[in-house]
C-alpha cells in the first residue's frame, strides 16, 4: 500500500487541478492520496469525481494556525484536518475568514513589493490564484514571470520569507481553537511538518504535548522539510505521546520540487489514524 497523506491543488497553492492530482496519484502508483489544500475544502468534489479506479481519496485541509508563546512570540504552524464535515458552520466560517485574510495580506505583500519597484501587480497574483486560497507561492510565480527571480525557491529566499521586509503575517487561528473546531466537525488532526525550521521558528516539545492533550491524533514524521534528525525526533515524540506518525510529500506541483509519493505513510498507521468515528470517510472502491 502506497499512501500519501498531504497534497495541494489549484484550490490553494498547488499547480495541478484536483482532477490532475488524482490522475498523477495513479501514475505514481499510489493507493491512497489526501487532498489537503490550505484553509479550503473546495477541491474535494472534483478530486472525488475524477478518482480513478483503485485509488482512495482522503478529503482533508491544511489549517493555518498560530501558537502564542509565553514570551509573547507568535509561531505559525499547520494542522492537517482529515475527514471533517465540510458543512460544519463554525469550521466553514473560520476557513472563510482565513481565506479572506490571505487575500488582504497577499495584497499588502504585493503593495510592498510594488513600492520597492518590482514589476508585479495584485491583478496578476489574483489571476494566478483564480478561485483558490491565495498564498505566497502565487506571488512567487508572479515574480518569476516578471523575471525578478529565476525560480520560486529564490523568490522565497530573497523576497518572501518572514525575515524579509516585504513580509506581512496573516491572522491565523489559535492552534487550540483549531483543534476544538476539527474535533467538533468530526475530523482527525495531524500536526504538519512540526520540525520544519527552514520555514521559520517551530514550537517546542512541551507545546506538542499540550496539543496531544487537546486532541491531536498524529504527527507528520516523514516530510521533505525534515532531515534525518528531525524524523528521528518526531518519531520518538510520537511514540512518547501516543501520537500516530505519518509520512507525506506535501506535493505542490511545480511550485516545489518534491514529487507526489516521495514520502509515504505506513499502512498500519493509516488504519490507526482513521479507525475512529469521523464525519466523512476516505472515498475508495470498497
Q: Do 225 and 193 form a contact (C-beta atoms < 8 A)? A: yes
Concatenated DSSP letters of 70-133: TTS-EEEEEEEEES--TT-HHHHHHHHHHHHHHHHHHHHHHHHHHHTT----HHHHHHHHTTSP
Q: Which residues contact 76 (CB under 8 A, 6 or more apart)?
A: 64, 65, 66, 169, 172, 200
Total residues belonging to the chain: 286
d(CA 272, CA 193): 20
Nearest residue (CB) to ligand AMP, 247 versus 282: 247
What does the per-residue mask of binding to ligand AMP show for 3-42, with x meaning CB under 6 A?
----------x------------------------x----
According to CB under 6 A, which one of 24, 67, 136, 141 is a site residue for ligand AMP?
Answer: 136
Give the residue, chosen from 20, 31, 85, 153, that forms a contact with ligand AMP under the rule CB under 6 A: 153
Closest residue to Zn ion in the complex (CB): 250
In the shown chain, the binding pattern of residues 52 to 81 toward Fe ion, with x for contact by CB under 5 A and - for none, equals --------------------------x---
- b/e sequence 5-36, b meaning 16+ C-beta within 10 Å: bbbbbbbbbbbbbbbbbbbbbeebebbbbbbb
Q: Read off φ and ψ for residue 34, nearest 5 degrees.
A: -100, 135
- Closest separation between CB of residue 165 and ligand AMP, Å? 16
Using rule CB under 6 A, residue 252 touches ligand AMP: yes
Partner whose footprint covers residue 141, from ligand AMP, Fe ion, Zn ion, none (CB < 5 to 8 Å by kind): none
Q: Is 37 in the site for Fe ion (CB under 5 A)?
A: no
Count residues near ligand AMP (CB under 6 A): 12
16 part of the interface to Fe ion, by CB under 5 A: no
Residues near Zn ion (CB under 5 A) are 62, 250
Residues near ligand AMP (CB under 6 A) are 13, 38, 135-137, 152-153, 156, 199, 252, 255-256
Amino acid at each position: 500500500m502506497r499512501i500519501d497523506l498531504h497534497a495541494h491543488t489549484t484550490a490553494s497553492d498547488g499547480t495541478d487541478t484536483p482532477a490532475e492530482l488524482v490522475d498523477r496519484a495513479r501514475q505514481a502508483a499510489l493507493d491512497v492520496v489526501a487532498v489537503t489544500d490550505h484553509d479550503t475544502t473546495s477541491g474535494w468534489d472534483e478530486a472525488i469525481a475524477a478518482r480513478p479506479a483503485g485509488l482512495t481519496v482522503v478529503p482533508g485541509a491544511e489549517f493555518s494556525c498560530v501558537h502564542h508563546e509565553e514570551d509573547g512570540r507568535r509561531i505559525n504552524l499547520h494542522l492537517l484536518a482529515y475527514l471533517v464535515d465540510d458543512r460544519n458552520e463554525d469550521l466553514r466560517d473560520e476557513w472563510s475568514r482565513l481565506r479572506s485574510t490571505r487575500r488582504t495580506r497577499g495584497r499588502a505583500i504585493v503593495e510592498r513589493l510594488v513600492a520597492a519597484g518590482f514589476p508585479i501587480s495584485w491583478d496578476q497574483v489574483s489571476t494566478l490564484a483564480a478561485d483558490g486560497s491565495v498564498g505566497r507561492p502565487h506571488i512567487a510565480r508572479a515574480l518569476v514571470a516578471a523575471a525578478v527571480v529565476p525560480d520560486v525557491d529564490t523568490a522565497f529566499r530573497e523576497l518572501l520569507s518572514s525575515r524579509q521586509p516585504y513580509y506581512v503575517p496573516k491572522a491565523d487561528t489559535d492552534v487550540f481553537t483549531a483543534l476544538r473546531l476539527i474535533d467538533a466537525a468530526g475530523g482527525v488532526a495531524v500536526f504538519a511538518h512540526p520540525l520544519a525550521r527552514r520555514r521559520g521558528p517551530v514550537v517546542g516539545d512541551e507545546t506538542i504535548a499540550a496539543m496531544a492533550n487537546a486532541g491531536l491524533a498524529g504527527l507528520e514524521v516523514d516530510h521533505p522539510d525534515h532531515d534525518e534528525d528531525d524524523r528521528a525526533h518526531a518519531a520518538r515524540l510520537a511514540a512518547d505521546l501516543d501520537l500516530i506518525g505519518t509520512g507525506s510529500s506535501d506535493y505542490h506541483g511545480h511550485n516545489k520540487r518534491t514529487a507526489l509519493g516521495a514520502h509515504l505513510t505506513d499502512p498500519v498507521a493509516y488504519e490507526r489514524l482513521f479507525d475512529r468515528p469521523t464525519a466523512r470517510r476516505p472515498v475508495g472502491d470498497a
